[in-house]
Amino acid sequence: MSQLIYNPFDREMHPPYLSPEYKSTLLRAPSQPLVVVKQSLSELSGPVFGDTNVGPLDHDLTKNARRNGEPLGERIVVHGKVTDENGRPVPFTLIEIWQANAAGRYVHKVDQHDAPLDPNFLGAGRVLTDAEGNYKFYTIKPGAYPWGNHHNAWRPNHIHFSLFGPNITTRLVTQMYFPGDPLLQYDPIFLGVPPKGRDLLISTFDLDITEPAFALGYRFDFVLRGSKATPFETV
Amino acid sequence: MLQTPSQTVGPYFAYGLTPEQYLYDFKSLVGNQLVDPLNTPDAITITGRVFDGQGQPIADAMIELWDPANKRFGRFGTGTDPQNRFVFQATKPGSVDGQAPHFWVIVFMRGQLIHSYTRLYFADEADLNAADPLLNTVPTERRATLLAQKAPGGYTFDIFMQGDNETVFFEV
């Protein structure tokens, strides 16, 4: 019996460990070369999640933390597809979501940015892809916020995502940005990605998914590492 | 199709990824107990810290632990322990593919635009370690960085991002 071998991380698409303009990398980037693994069943396994890991309102961040009303801000709906590099859908995989509120403030206790918290918004959610790899969730458009990397540094509006895929080699944590954001050209986290990969992190406005008189729609697709060979398939 | 680029987990992941540990009102996907220690006589505790290039413990890392033999997964942030330790309850994994017992450890943090993978082997499995195919591809002088050391109730495993004892990280 042979097994699938997954393509390595495409280092022309992913940011390097050391990215000096993003100052926190200086003391945290490994300096020694990575040791290459010959893939085995150990790496080609990973946690499996399902419906039981997603709460009934976790796909709607405008509803899953309400106390006395609706959260403030611009309601949006985000949808897309998770595939591998070969274009095959990644069905029933978990997507974890977290973000700042409309004012650019995170619920996290360490975030001391002088912008208001929203009592009706946590900013965390989860969604499972369907049988075709599609996902959709509702939220509030996150605000930009300042950070300490350099003078007058601001993060562009973004939503954080964590994905698993079929095994631990396909693990992905990333951020989705919004089209036309003037802060992107100044953001060392976004610019840490090689030029070839940057556009893939910017969502597109989608009038077809926009819900009349309710929410603006954005599309964002994910492409996870794919397998090199498919020895199990006979077709 | 081109792979979606990675971005950092950032400093504010806790309410989304490790909410119960950090006392946020959101159900955690998983915690740090790969087994229930009360019902598992051979449970071990694994503790460690993550150090930056100046030898300072990192307070905003997220560690994921994957036991490939028992298919168990856990996650813990280094921001709640006063010494910035991560703590897991697990059992020592058995062998997969004839390899020495090991966990995969995935490290995420602010200051890493893409996550890092390392393996936790056990210092008290010298014979199995000596025959492990992956460990044998690691330069001899760096292998010790992958060995968890026996401690009361379990093992300790510190992770060094840089420096003389820089942990071996893998291209998986």
Q: Over the stretch B96-134, which tens digit does the pLDDT of each residue have?
A: 999 999 999 999 999 999 999 999 999 999 999 999 999
pLDDT digits (tens, 9 = 90+) for B25-47: 999 999 999 999 999 999 999 99
Which residues does chain B have within 8 Å of residue A10's beta carbon, measured at their own beta carbons? 2-3
Integer Cα distance of B9 and A71 in angstroms: 24
Q: What percent of chain A has pLDDT over 70?
A: 96
- Tell me how far CA of residue B131 lies from CA of A6, A36, A43, B99, B140, in angstroms: 25, 18, 18, 8, 13
pLDDT digits (tens, 9 = 90+) for A31-42: 999 999 999 999
Count structural domains, chain B.
1
Spell out the residues 6+ positions from residue A35 whose beta carbon is closer than 8 angstroms to its own: B134, B137, B138, B168, B169, B170, B171
pLDDT score of A104: 97
Mean pLDDT score, A169-184: 98
Integer Cα distance of A5 and A43 in angstroms: 10
Interchain contact, A160 vs B9, CB within 8 Å = yes
Mutate to test the interface with A, among B2, B4, B164 (most CBs of A within 10 A): B4
pLDDT digits (tens, 9 = 90+) for A42-65: 999 999 999 999 999 999 999 999
pLDDT score of B10: 98
- Structure confidence at residue B85 as a pLDDT band (50, 70, 90): very high
Chain B residues 53-92 within an 8 A CB cutoff of chain A = 53-54, 56, 58, 60, 64, 66, 68, 71, 73, 79
Collapsing DSSP states into helix, strand and coil, what is residue A132?
Answer: coil
Mean pLDDT score, B46-73: 98
CA A212 to chain centre: 26
Give the chain A residue nearest B28 (alpha carbons): A53
Higher pLDDT: A193 or A232? It is A193
Q: Are strands B44-48 and A158-163 parallel, antiparallel or unpaired?
A: unpaired
Residue A183 predicted with pLDDT over 50: yes
In a domain, B28, yes or no: yes
pLDDT digits (tens, 9 = 90+) for A11-36: 999 999 999 999 999 999 999 999 99
- Tell me how far CA of residue A125 lies from CA of A62, A96, B14, B27, B34, in angstroms: 10, 6, 12, 10, 23
Interchain contact, B102 vs A35, CB within 8 Å = no
Structure token pair of residue A126: 């989860």
Catalytic residues of A: 106, 145, 155, 158, 160
Do the interacting molecules here have an ipTM over 0.95?
yes
pLDDT score of A233: 46
- Structure confidence at residue A235 as a pLDDT band (50, 70, 90): very low
pLDDT score of B63: 98
Interchain contact, B99 vs A40, CB within 8 Å = yes
Interchain contact, B5 vs A41, CB within 8 Å = no
The answer to whether B162 and B135 have CB atoms below 8 angstroms apart is no
Domain with B114 in it: 5-160
Which residues does chain A have within 8 Å of residue B161's beta carbon, measured at their own beta carbons? 27-30
In a domain, B110, yes or no: yes
pLDDT score of A112: 85
Could you tell me which of A9, A197, A139 has the C-alpha nearest to residue B16?
A139
Integer Cα distance of A207 and A179 in angstroms: 14
| Phi, psi values for residue B106, rounded to 5° | -115, 130
pTM of the prediction?
Answer: 0.96
Mean pLDDT score, B84-96: 97
| Cβ neighbour number for residue A222 with a 10 Å cutoff | 24
The widest CA-to-CA distance across chain B, in whole angstroms, is 49
Mean pLDDT over all residues of chain A?
95
Domain ranges of chain A: 73-224
pLDDT score of A3: 62
pLDDT digits (tens, 9 = 90+) for A112-152: 899 999 999 999 999 999 999 999 999 999 999 999 999 99
Query: Would you list the DSSP string of A6-66?
Result: BPPP-TTTSPPS--TTSGGGTTTS--SPPEEP---TTTT------GGGS-TTTTBTTTTT-
In a domain, B172, yes or no: no
Q: State whether CATH 3.40.50.261 applies to domain A73-224.
A: no
The CATH number of the domain where B43 resides is what? 2.60.130.10
B111 touches A: beta carbon within 8 Å: yes
In a domain, B86, yes or no: yes
Q: What percent of chain A has pLDDT over 90?
A: 93
B19 touches A: beta carbon within 8 Å: yes
| Phi, psi values for residue A73, rounded to 5° | 120, -175
Integer Cα distance of B18 and A124 in angstroms: 11
The answer to whether B147 and B119 have CB atoms below 8 angstroms apart is no
- Structure confidence at residue A4 as a pLDDT band (50, 70, 90): confident
pLDDT score of A12: 97
